[in-house]
Every structure is written in C-alpha cells, then in structure tokens.
Amino acid sequence: MDIAVLAEQFPIFLQAEEGGLVQQELSFMILLFIAAMVAIVVRRIRLPYTVALVLVGLVLSFFPNFLGFSVSSDLILAILVPPLVFEATLHIPWRKLKKDLLPVLLLAFGGTLVGTFLVGGLVHFLGISWAAALAFGALISATDPVAVIAFFRSLGVSKRLTILVEGESLFNDGVAIVIFNLALAAGTLSGSFGLGEALQSFFIVAFGGVAVGITLGYVVSYIILKNVDDHLIETATTVALAFGSFVVAESFGQFIGVEGLHFSGILAVVAAGLMVGNIGFQNTSPTTKLTLDNFWEFLSFVVNSLVFLLIGLEIELTQLRPNIIPIVVAVLAIILSRGLIIYTFSWVYGRIQPRNRIPFNFQHVMYWGGLRGAISLALALSIEDAVFGPEVALELRVMTFGVVLFTLLFQGMTIEKIINRLKLAEVPPQRVELQRRQATLSAKWAGKHELDRLRDDGILFKDIWDSMGQVYDEEIQAKKADLRAHLQDFPELELDMYLQAREDALSAERSAVGEASRRGFISNEVHDELIVELNNRAAALEIIMKNRTRGVEKWERENE
C-alpha cells in the first residue's frame, strides 16, 4: 500500500505538512507540558486527573488560535486510540478474563446492540431519522473507563471488577464502531441496506478484526519476542504491532486486492494486545519485559493526557446551550439504557452461572462507571454533512459533546464516593497492618542486600559493613518477630500469604520456562508441555483461592 493510499485512508498523515510540522510539534509540546502541570496539581487536590484535563481543555477552548492544533476523527481513532487499547490489553491476564469472558461479551456485544436501539429509539422522537438515531446510539454506546480504572488502581478495588469494566470497554469500542459504520451505510444507501446484510457485515468486520489481531500477535509473540534477545528491537516491534494491526485490519481489502473489504481495527488491536500480554511476555527476557512495561506505561500516560485535553478543546460550550433539550434527552437516554443493560444482562448471566454471578455492588459501579470519551467523540467528528444533512450532523455532534461532558464531569467526579459507599475499597485493618509489616521487612532486606553488594565490590570496608550489617540483622529479626506475632493474632492471613506466594512462584516458573525456550535450552514441544502443566496447577490454585474468597464473603455476610 503506497503513501497516497494511506493518506487517503487516514488524512491525519497529511496534517503535519498542511499545518506546518514546526507548528504541530510546538502544539504537541505545549499540550504535553500542560498535562504534566495538571498531573502535579491533582496530586494536591482530590480531583481525577482525566477530569482535570478536560476542564483545562475547556478553558483552552476559549482561545481557539492559541494552539492551532486540529482535532479530527482520524487523529483520535488511528493515532491515539491504538496505543491506549494495546497498553490496556497487555495487563489483562487471559486466565482471569476467561473466567468472566461470557459476561464481558454479553455486555460488549449484546449490550451495545441493545443500547444502540434503546438510545436510538429515544433520540428518534426528536425528529431525527432512524439511520441517524441509530448512528448516535452506536457511537454513544462506546464506554471509556480510563478515569474509573485509575480510581480502581489507586483504591485497590477487586481485580475482577476491574476486568469486567475494562474488558467490556475494550470489546464494545470495536463493536460500537462496526454498528456505527453500518448505520452510516444505511443512511447513505437510503433503504437498500437490509437487516440480513447488516448482520453479515457485522460478523465479518468484527470477527475478521479479531482474526487479524490474533494472527499478527501470534507472529510477534512466537517469532520475534521468543527468538530476538534485544529489548529495543522487541519494544519497537510491539509499537509496530499496535499501529500495524489497526491499519492492516482497516485496509485489509487493499492488501489482498478486494475493494471495500475491511475489518475492525480496534478489535484487531485488542486481540493483538492480549496475545502479546499473555504469550509474548512469557517468551521474552525479564529485562525486555521491564522495558516494555515502562515504555507502554509512559506512552499510555502521554496519549491519555492528549486525549482528554483534546476532548476539552473540541467541545464548544457555546453550542451546548441552544441545544440543551436534545442534550438532556441524550443524557437521560444513556442513563436509562445503561441501567437496563447492566442489571438485565447481569441477571441473565447469574441465571446461567449462578456460582459466578456478578455481585450487586459490582453492578452499581459498572452502571455508574459507564463513562463516554474518546471513541464517542471521534465517531461524532467523523459524521459528514452529506450523510444525514448538515443540521442533523451538527445536532449529533453537539449531543455527543454534551453526553461526554456530563459523564466525565458528573459521573467521573462521583464514582469514588460510590465505590467508598459500597465499601469496595475497604481493606480490613489487620490486612493493612500485614501489608505495612511485610513492606517494612522487605525494605530492611533490600538495605542489607545493598550493603552486601557494596562489600563484595570493595567499596565498603569490612569494619563498616560489620557495624551496619549488625544493625540491619537486628532490625530484620525484630521485623520478622512482629510479622509472626501479627499472623498469630490473625491466622487466616497466613493462608492468604501462602496462596499469594504460590501464585507468584508459579508465575516465576512460567517465566523460567519461557526463558529456557527462548535461549534454545528446550524444544517447543517441551515448552508447551511444561506450560500446560503449569497452567493446570495455576487453575487448581485459582479454584482454591476462589473458594477461599467465597468463604470469607459468606462469613462477613453472616457477621454483619
């Protein structure tokens, strides 16, 4: 595919030339500096980082010529979203996602379809055509849990709740884009687009994107990450995979010579990220894994910052007031539909898997945490005036701005209170004390090891090492005694320590097997055999830990 075709597919690649490379670079650096300053400020105030970025962006929007930075759907979808999605999937363990894959897919596929028609039906009463209403219903069904997940990590919320919220968002982004494009096609073709053809296109685009992502992710995980021992090359390869899987899926027909054939780029990135995170990371060295973690954490921070600043910059507050009635209708529509989707599909899943049902307090957070963000904004900006008419296109964009602003500011700023009210972030005092004593003991051991290293390197004289080492030895023994006394007071914590240590040990064994295979010490057959055995042991441990959790929750309910 040549540059001209790529530029035609994604016009963002020509923006630098048209707007001036220096101007674009200067705008980028200013936005990055503003994001860093906002991050420093929010450390001192109780305000979500993403919400603060949107507020700053809204302030900057009053100075339209301040940056001269043009926001387009291609900039968001083709440049900013792929690394965000890829980084998120890198840290979702397949063995945990697999346990809740059914409710995630129910919410991502079924929920997005139901939400599209529910919101579209309510918006249709505003006098908007069915095709335009369904397009709005689809674009506004893409949830963006970035602000919520940030709270989850800082408050220590259950990993299962995090996977449910993040997993649904990752998959429903791709599903929403597919349905949105089908709605646009229906509006363009004026009635010649039937339901059967729409369903066929939906499955082709969705599952084709997943297939592309799995294929490319497999190639990178087993050929490059397994056989190349260079953290720079491996990191560059994952970057190419994040953007390449999106481009290959979206432009698949041009690669094979079939005009008009394309798949879901977002779902391709999701599948590729899951492959690298769960297979590629096991095939690479610890040094590369650390490099990849640090690089993608940094890139995610930069892209997240740009996304939410650009959301604030793009929302035109002057357009919201004249369209307040459509915005209110749209907000009510997404609130009502979200509640119906979460509680209905959770009930259905509970009937299918009663032993693994989603707790009600989880459902409440999933309902209120359904924020809208970058994907919805990008899809709204991509609506051309010629499809539904300039007035309808403007109304859809303004409604999207209003909904995104409401969910990010109102829901995003209240979700922490809901989490605390539902006691999802509460940690028993004895467990907090256990963590404190474990961390203190670990710190003392780290100091002792550093002293030993300095002595072995000849930097620290023996008499100094003897003196300081004796102090550390006494402190380590005292901290061990404190930890043992705490475990005697709360013996149930000792089992938790054992189970966590066993899980960490199994993870280390997996890494060792992957390292042996990468260095050629064992064949692929032996590697696969050992990995299967380790996975079976990990699955057995998960059952024990799940039963342990159920027992603790039952005891807490009985003693409330």
pLDDT tens across 500-516, in order?
Answer: 778 778 877 877 887 78
Mean pLDDT of 541-556: 61
Residue 275: closest CA among 231, 297, 242: 242
> What DSSP string runs through 156-223?
T--HHHHHHHHHHHHHHHHHHHHHHHHHHHHHHHTT---HHHHHHHHHHHHHHHHHHHHHHHHHIIII
- pLDDT at 332 > cutoff 60: yes
Residue 318's pLDDT is what?
79
**Is the Cβ–Cβ distance between 31 and 306 less than 8 Å?**
yes
The DSSP symbol for 545 reads H
Sorting pLDDT into bands at 50, 70 and 90, what band is 558?
Answer: very low
Check residue 249 and give its pLDDT: 92
Q: How far apart are CA 95 and CA 190, in angstroms?
A: 45
| pLDDT the model gives residue 560 | 42
Instruction: For domain 3-421, give its CATH number from 3.60.150.10, 3.40.50.1220, 1.10.12.10, 1.20.1530.20.
Output: 1.20.1530.20
Q: Are 252 and 262 in contact (CB under 8 A)?
A: yes
- Mean pLDDT, residues 308-327: 83
15-27 burial by CB neighbour count: b if 16+ within 10 A, else e?
beeeeeeeebeeb
C-beta of residue 210 within 8 angstroms of C-beta of residue 268: yes
Asked if 209 and 249 count as a contact pair (C-beta separation under 8 A), the reply is yes
Of 12 and 96, the one with more pLDDT: 96
- Cβ atoms of 177 and 379 within 8 Å: the answer is yes
Lowest mean pLDDT, pick from 31-45, 180-194, 542-556? 542-556
Q: Which of 141-150, 256-265, 466-475, 542-551 has the lowest mean pLDDT?
A: 542-551
- Pair of tokens at residue 199: 């369903």
Q: What pLDDT, on a 0 to 100 scale, did the predictor assign at position 14? A: 46
Q: Which residues in 186-313 belong to E strands, given as ranges?
A: none
Q: For residue range 451-500, list pLDDT tens digits in order.
A: 888 888 888 788 888 888 888 888 889 888 888 888 787 776 777 777 77
Please state, in angstroms and as integers, the Cα–Cα distance from residue 178 to each residue in 134, 206, 338, 479, 499, following that order. 12, 7, 19, 57, 42
Q: What percent of the chain has pLDDT over 70?
A: 88
Residue with the larger pLDDT of the pair 71 and 274 = 274
The domain segmentation of the chain, as residue ranges, is 3-421, 436-490, 493-560
* For residues 410-415, average pLDDT: 85
Return the half-sphere exposure (C-beta side, CA atoms, 13 A cut-off) of residue 505. Answer: 8
Per cent of the chain over pLDDT 90 is 17
Buried-state track 397-430, b at ≥16 Cβ within 10 A, e below 16: bbbbbbbbbbbbbebbeebbebbeebebbeeeee
**Higher confidence at residue 229 or residue 445?**
445
Q: Which residues contact 394 (CB under 8 A, 6 or more apart)?
A: 319
pTM (predicted TM-score): 0.74
The whole-number pLDDT of residue 347 equals 94
| Residues 408, 457 contacting (CB under 8 angstroms) | no
Contact 309, 57 (CB under 8 A): yes
Tokens of 201: 């296109």
The CA-to-CA distance between both ends of the chain, in Å, stands at: 64
Cβ neighbours of residue 538 closer than 8 Å, sequence gap 6 or more: 95, 503, 506
Beta pairing partners, 143: 372
Look up residue 322 and give its DSSP letter.
G
Token pair recorded at residue 452:
């030993």
Indicate the pLDDT class of residue 157, thresholds 50, 70 and 90: confident
372 three-class SS: strand
Pick the closest to residue 133 from 178, 180, 168, 87 (CA basis).
180
pLDDT of residue 377: 84
Q: What is the DSSP letter of 321?
A: G
C-alpha distances out from residue 448 to 238, 472, 483, Å:
37, 6, 18
pLDDT surpassing 90 at residue 335: yes
- Pairs from 477-483 (Cβ < 8 Å, separation ≥ 24): 479/437, 479/440, 479/441, 479/444, 480/441, 482/437, 483/434, 483/437, 483/438, 483/441
Can you say whether residue 235 is alpha, beta or left, with left for phi > 0 and alpha for psi between -120 and 50 degrees?
alpha
Question: What band does 447 get if pLDDT is binned at 50, 70 and 90?
Answer: confident
226 contacts 283 by C-beta, under 8 angstroms: yes
* Higher-confidence position of 175 and 189: 175
Q: How confident is the model at residue 239 (pLDDT cuts 50, 70, 90)?
A: very high
CA nearest 379: which of 107, 111, 121, 182? 182
Contacts for 18-21: CB closer than 8 Å, 24+ residues apart: 19/68, 19/70
Angstrom CA distances, 498 to 264, 284, 446, 502, stand at 43, 27, 21, 6
Structure confidence at residue 550 (pLDDT): 56
Question: Predicted confidence band at 6 (pLDDT cuts at 50, 70, 90)?
Answer: very low
Query: Chain-wide mean pLDDT for the chain?
Result: 81
- Give the model's confidence band at 549: pLDDT under 50 very low, under 70 low, under 90 confident, else very high: low
